[in-house]
């Protein structure tokens, strides 16, 4: 799980660098920050979810409680992602294509990790 988080962080940084380069000199900083923010909007709740899963695995709990906890945790994670995405335009000057690129890049890391594992 932590390898995927490290890969997600690396991809966020790479997308932010590319967004900064593609935006040119005038909009490089807002584009890079938007790409970082878009990636972080998924990465941070995902990090907390993984840490919570690790903690749950360390304690002895029944499988049924584990499954219910997983589903509740996933719902909380997705709600946090949506809340962060709604809150970001109030915090920073958003470059929407860069933000969406950062978000999608992090989401595709999960997809490729699943594909490579099978």
For residue range 21-58, what is the model confidence (pLDDT) as tens digits?
A: 998 777 788 999 999 999 999 999 999 998 888 887 77
Q: How far apart are CA 26 and CA 4, in angstroms?
A: 33
Does residue 18 surpass a pLDDT of 70?
A: yes
Assign 3-class secondary structure to the chain: CHHHHHHHHHHHHHHHHHHHHHHHHHHHHHHHHHHHHHHHHHHHHHHHHHHHHHHHHHCCCCHHHHHHHHHHHHHHHHHHHHHHHHHHHHHCCCCHHHHHHHHHHHHHHHHHHHHHHC
Average pLDDT of 1-11? 90
Q: Which two tokens stand for residue 98?
A: 């860069």
Q: How far apart are CA 110 and CA 112, in angstroms?
A: 6
Q: In this predicted model, what pLDDT tens digit does every residue of 54-84 receive, in sequence order?
A: 887 777 655 556 777 788 889 999 999 999 9
């Amino acid at each position: 799980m932590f390898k995927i988080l490290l890969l997600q962080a690396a991809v966020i940084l790479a997308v932010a660098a590319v967004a900064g380069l593609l935006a040119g000199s005038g909009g490089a900083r807002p584009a890079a920050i938007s790409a970082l923010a878009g990636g972080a909007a998924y990465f941070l709740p995902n990090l907390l979810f993984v840490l919570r899963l690790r903690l749950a695995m360390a304690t002895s709990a029944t499988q049924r409680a584990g499954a219910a906890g997983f589903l509740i945790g996933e719902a909380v994670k997705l709600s946090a992602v949506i809340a962060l995405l709604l809150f970001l335009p109030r915090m920073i000057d958003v470059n929407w294509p860069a933000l969406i690129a950062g978000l999608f890049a992090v989401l595709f890391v999960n997809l490729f990790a699943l594909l490579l594992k099978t």
